Amino acid sequence: MPTGTWRAIYTPAMSSPILFTLASLIWGSTFWAITLQLGHTAPAVSVAYRFFLAAAALFAVCIVRRERLSLPWRTHRWMALQGGLTFGISYICTYHAEQHVVSGLVAVMFALMVFWTPIWSRLFFGTAINRRTWTCGAAATVGVALLFWHAIGDAWQAIQAGGNGHFIAGVVLALAATMASAGGSVVVTKVKQQCANLPLTMAWSMLWGASMVTLWSLANGDAFTLPDSGTYWAGLFYLSIFGSVIAFFAYFTLIARIGANKAVYVTVVTPVLSVLLSVVLEDYRPGALEFLGMIVCLASVAWAVRAPAPKIVQSANLNNPIESP
């Protein structure tokens, strides 16, 4: 399948703003949906179930379209790396983080991908980072800090008073998830250079990720049980089909169109939506600072996506043309 064909087949009428909005809306709710699964089985087991189901759905799409499923090993190496980072490490840490902090805060931590994505691009591909990238990232970080200023302050006071530090553990896990996810977003470029069939490469990457999580979970002694909770399976379906297949398809398409450094600002919009969901579902009450944070987050997104189109430069490390901001 020639480069660009999957975009013509699968997203003929979806503009980049629609894809951006779609991914933001879905991921803004998935952090809450994850809480529906907590306590029923080990977090890593839920991650494996989620991406095995998502991979199966994507393979089914490819089979219906009579597409060849096999790919060369050189492509699988990049898909395995992407799967391990994006669908393995990132989600194991996310599910564990949600056991210690509210779902809205986990979503907020993912906004820091606006820093990690260009940093990884610089380290591994030699992509230049301009002043606007740093400024937009700083503005987004300020917005993130304002969103949960009081929650962070309360947790710090609890720690000083002899608290058990569960809040900090959750933040560290969420930060690790963010770094892994940002690395996976950068690898998307290499995967696309190997194979332009996005549903197929997503299916294999999710299968790789789910398989790695399964091995880690078995080594950790987790039991692969089938919960009898209807809410668990409803959450699993939503997370697999909407939160994985649809949202990641929209996000990876955005990366191909506008570059990872702009597409990553989806993760700045999702915290705002997650906070609003926490108001309804978790009795969270934001104050003036939190609302100011929402405004700053959205302003940073508007500023970032209006940056000039990226230019093509030569990769410093892999000798492949890549996008530079």
Residue ranges per structural domain of the chain? 5-324
In the predicted structure, residue 207 carries a pLDDT above the cut 80 = yes
For the segment 236-259, the average pLDDT, to the nearest whole number, is 91
Res 199: pLDDT: 92
Query: For the residues 245-261, what does the mean pLDDT come to?
Result: 88
254, pLDDT greater than 70: yes
pTM of the model: 0.80
Closest CA to 313 of 79, 120, 129: 129
Helices 90-97 and 43-64 sit at what angle, rounded to 10 degrees? 130
pLDDT at position 70 over 50: yes
Average pLDDT over residues 141-153: 75
- For residue 244, give the nearest of 23, 4, 81 by alpha carbon: 23
Kindly state the average pLDDT of the residues 293-305: 79
Q: What is the mean pLDDT of residues 17-42?
A: 82
Contact in structure between 199 and 58 (CB atoms under 8 Å):
yes
pLDDT value at residue 316: 37
Highest mean pLDDT among 104-113, 186-195, 245-254: 245-254
Those residues whose C-beta lies under 8 Å from the C-beta of residue 240, and which sit 6 or more positions away, are: 49, 50, 51, 53, 54, 57
Give the Cα separation of 44 and 88 in Å (integer): 9
> Strand pairing partners for 324?
311
Count helices and strands (H / E) in the chain: 16, 2
pLDDT at 319: 38
